[in-house]
A and B are shown apart, each in its own frame.
Chain A
Amino acid sequence: MAQSVQPLVKPAEQLAKRDALLARLRTIYDSKEILTESAQLAPFESDALTAFHETALAAVFPRTTEEIAATVRACYELDVPFLARGSGTSLSGGSLPIPGGLLIVLSKMNKILEIDLENLRMVVQPGVVNIWVSREVAAHGLYYSPDPSSQIVCTIGGNIAFNSGGAHCLKYGMTSNHILGMKVVLPDGEIVDIGGKSLESPGMDLCGLMVGSEGLLGIATEITLRLMPKPESVKTVLASYDQLEKAGQAVGDVIGSGLLPVALEIMDRLAIDAAEAAVHAGYPPDAQALLIVELDGPAAEVAPQFETLIETLRRSGASKLVIPATEAERARIWKGRKAAFSAVGRISPDYLVQDGVVPRNKLGRALREIERLSQVYGLRVANVFHAGDGNLHPLVLFDNRVPGQLQKAEQLAGEILKMCVDLGGSITGEHGIGVEKLPYMTYQFDESDMSMMYAIRNSFDPKGLSNRGKMLPSQNPERPSPHGPHPLEREGVIQRF
């Protein structure tokens, strides 16, 4: 049971505010759609960044845009912070409740509103789970490209908040590249429609601003997604290397060969061990690093490109190439890769997941630096990453039973993030800032950059109520502990990226 950081005795003002809010909420919702008891609120105390726990003032379960707008207006008038939550799979604490704030749980806004097969669009509510979209249109030969590893539980609303990525961003981009329109409830309850069904839209790119704004600018309630025809041919190869650095170099070779793979993924020895222990992916036992490369597209195009790829990998010094002959074999390769994070639990009692980006040509340097830091701190670091995007996911392994190890692990993870910025990259590629990376925002962005972000925030939400305390380092909450896997992750239902 997580510990609550709510004060035991609430000041009278706080109580009055709570009562006033609940009275307003009762005019919007049935009483069973309003949760106020701490036992009822307990399941919402954390997201996938399990180190953090907070208890919300209350939780509500809207079904319509109008209910959300009325809820937000009530919060705005009464100065109560609020936050919309999907499945709570944020790895950065982005959906952590705000102390004294209202939780707007979107699980009942899970309807597919329109499937437009002619135009290749789907209009969904934010609580629709990512994988449902592709499943819904699979029979029509269509799919939705962004595929975060938690896609069997994470929602489209959450994907929008954090501009979620996945393993196939190199060719097709992230969530932002697949959202064409949305209805948004702004932080003061105003409802606006932006974008539309066309691939192009006039005026400034408002969808572009909303996606990745971590819930600070409003709540998307109807979202127009772009569907794509399923690629006709998908070809995958698994290359093993006797040195991690060679695998990193091979990434450059593949890009340099003029190919545009849909995925380029690397796992190091420690990550391979973990994946093998968990799902027996059948990875080569002697490899120090594995590179997974996937091409997709029209069959007539992929076939000759795949030959170029194999030739490039041979020349890059791969000790072994495995080309899956069947879809089942291909799925096994990906299963090991996607399970790598949760699998790390098999080789370490605790671990921190990090998410940073470096320019591709600095991958080798970044890996050497991570190795050095690992030795300095005396903690193991497993590396699994979207190498094609330069997106690192180092896993810092530690044992929370050893006093001081968590702090050391956090420090080490922080040094890795700073290194990403120093190398010209970013502190997050796809997990977002949330609460976890607040301390590093000002390392990446200078005072002017930050002041512009605050100006946008203030213009949308002068009271700073919408997802208060996330993304912009102002009201940074306390950081409770300890770390550990999300319950769903422990059961192997979701993975970390």
Chain B
Amino acid sequence: MPTPFTYTRSDLPTTTPQSVAETASVIREAATAGRAVLIRGGGTKWSLGHQPKQEAVVLCTGSLTGIIEYEPGELTFTARAGTPLVEVESALAANGQYLPFDPPFASAGATLGGTIAAGLSGPRRMRYGGLRDFVIGVEFVSADGLTVHGGGKVVKNAAGYDLPKLFCGSLGTLGVLTQVSFKVFPMPQAHRTLLAGLDSAPAVQSALLAIQRSPLEVSAADAWPAGVIADIPDLGKGYVLAVQMDGVEPSLSPRLDRLRGLLPSGTPTALLEGDPESALWSALRDVAWLGESGAVLRLYLPPNRLADLDARLQEFAARRVYSIAGNAGWAVLSGDPARLAPALEKLGVRASVWRGGGDGAEILPALPGSALVKRIKRAFDPREVFYPGRFAAG
């Protein structure tokens, strides 16, 4: 099953090392030959970043799979980087545990390593934190072909630089992840979703700010102009707000009642549970609504900029969904996404171009920390083995 960002470069030579040692040989050979290496896990997020033009080889982690250590009482696990998310999620679920950062594209074959590299969390990361808050250890093959470790296997660790976090969002520009360790949490006993129909983007923003400010600890809060997500009950012609609450069953009803109290009186609402609820959050997480055409932006915003941003996106005829109580969002629009850069800059919003960026910038407006990224890239990859310029100055 493809994602909106699926791997399409069957023209590139591909190698699939069977072990960490073989991975290291691939890197050493590429370095000697002056060939750039692109790393591919499940290929579910390939269109993010610049596409290769020079001669390049694709290193596929498809054989570096399997859970190495998982003791449920530890609330951690270690697995090879190419391990598919589905394998991990089913092992965790068998023990009543889960990945609270809600990683997308599991059913499309996304891997642990690719999830870290793309730095992407799902809508239900809201309550306990994102990907970066749950990666505790990495092992990777460096540009020199050495096996390097950062972090560890324990949940609390202040020794050395926090390389596990640095790898989040590095898109294969620092090294080949071969083994990763994560912290996990007990899976909430039950969950339920409240849908609400709101008239305008400012009303959505107010509701999300109130929810974020409340001590109700919601697990997700997304919103979109009516019609963007299919099969949602008719709650008016404006915007739909979806808020998920999780926890012990008896706590859900009273918390949902209080949640309704945060919305303007007379707001139409509906409850969603069971399969329709799961289907909604899968759709919001795996973003199939983005479709196959148009440029796709992942948006990063201060929640109180949602209404202003929404007005701009509407001018550009973008279809859009806001997530994590207005901290992030997705938008799809036709034409060159760089047209949005001045508007985004003015609003203090940033976007990464996940598809259709052409040769343009992959982050809009340009990332201010790029001077720092260049130093990091120099440290990790002085010989530029890991496709220089692939992403965010790395």
Using CB atoms and an 8 Å cutoff, list the residues of chain A in contact with chain B.
Answer: 116-121, 141, 162-163, 165, 169-171, 173-174, 176-177, 184, 186, 190, 192-209, 211-213, 229-232, 252, 255-256, 258-260, 297-298, 300-301, 303-305, 357-361, 386, 389-391, 424-433, 437, 441, 444-446, 448-449, 451-453, 455-456, 458-460, 471
Minimum C-beta distance from B390 to chain A (A) = 11
Given contacts A173-B133, A459-B378, contact A206 B300 (CB under 8 A): no
CA distance A162 to B160 in the complex (A): 10
B156 contacts A200, C-beta separation under 8 Å: no
Chain A residue contacts of B164, Cβ below 8 A: 208
A-B contacts, 21 listed (Cβ < 8 Å): A116-B302, A169-B155, A171-B128, A192-B369, A193-B368, A202-B350, A203-B352, A203-B394, A206-B369, A232-B215, A258-B96, A297-B217, A298-B255, A301-B217, A301-B248, A357-B157, A359-B74, A428-B158, A430-B156, A444-B152, A452-B380
Residue from B156, B168, B351 having most chain A Cβ neighbours under 10 A? B156
Other A-B contacts than A116-B304, A452-B150, A460-B375, 11 sampled, CB-CB below 8 A, are: A203-B170, A204-B173, A205-B165, A209-B163, A230-B215, A259-B186, A359-B76, A389-B156, A428-B159, A430-B158, A444-B159
CA distance A231 to B119 in the complex (A): 29
Indicate whether B244 reaches chain A with its CB closer than 8 angstroms: no
Indicate whether B162 reaches chain A with its CB closer than 8 angstroms: yes
Indicate whether B229 reaches chain A with its CB closer than 8 angstroms: no
B379 contacts A433, C-beta separation under 8 Å: no
CA distance A232 to B380 in the complex (A): 45
Q: CB < 8 Å: which of B130, B161, B215, B248 contacts A304?
A: B248
Q: Hey, what's the 0/1 contact readout for B177-204 against A, CB within 8 Å counting as 1?
A: 0000000011101000000000000000
Using CB atoms and an 8 Å cutoff, list the residues of chain B in contact with chain A.
Answer: 71-76, 96, 119, 121, 128-130, 132-133, 142, 146-150, 152-170, 173-174, 185-187, 189, 209, 212-217, 247-248, 250-251, 254-255, 298, 300-304, 324, 327-328, 348, 350-352, 363, 367-369, 371-373, 375-376, 378-380, 391-394
B369 contacts A448, C-beta separation under 8 Å: no
A433 contacts B160, C-beta separation under 8 Å: yes
B161 contacts A459, C-beta separation under 8 Å: no
Minimum C-beta distance from A311 to chain B (A) = 14
B372 contacts A184, C-beta separation under 8 Å: yes
CA distance A437 to B158 in the complex (A): 11
Chain B residue contacts of A432, Cβ below 8 A: 158
Residue of B nearest to A213 (CB): B161
Q: CB < 8 Å: which of A208, A386, A389, A452 contacts B165?
A: A208
Residue of A nearest to B378 (CB): A459
CA distance A460 to B394 in the complex (A): 15
Minimum C-beta distance from A181 to chain B (A) = 10
B216 contacts A298, C-beta separation under 8 Å: yes
Minimum C-beta distance from A433 to chain B (A) = 6
B158 contacts A429, C-beta separation under 8 Å: yes
Minimum C-beta distance from B142 to chain A (A) = 6
A361 contacts B162, C-beta separation under 8 Å: no
A449 contacts B148, C-beta separation under 8 Å: yes
Chain B residue contacts of A119, Cβ below 8 A: 209, 302-304
Q: CB < 8 Å: which of A252, A300, A458 contacts B379?
A: A458
CA distance A211 to B156 in the complex (A): 14
Chain A residue contacts of B363, Cβ below 8 A: 202-203
Chain A residue contacts of B327, Cβ below 8 A: 198-200
Residue from A173, A201, A202 having most chain B Cβ neighbours under 10 A? A202
Q: CB < 8 Å: which of A194, A200, A255, A453 contacts B369?
A: A194
CA distance A391 to B156 in the complex (A): 7
Chain B residue contacts of A357, Cβ below 8 A: 152, 154-157
CA distance A200 to B154 in the complex (A): 24
Chain A residue contacts of B186, Cβ below 8 A: 255, 258-260
Residue of B nearest to A203 (CB): B392
Q: CB < 8 Å: which of B130, B216, B247 contacts A200?
A: B130
Given contacts A119-B303, A192-B368, contact A211 B133 (CB under 8 A): no
Minimum C-beta distance from A423 to chain B (A) = 9
CA distance A441 to B160 in the complex (A): 8
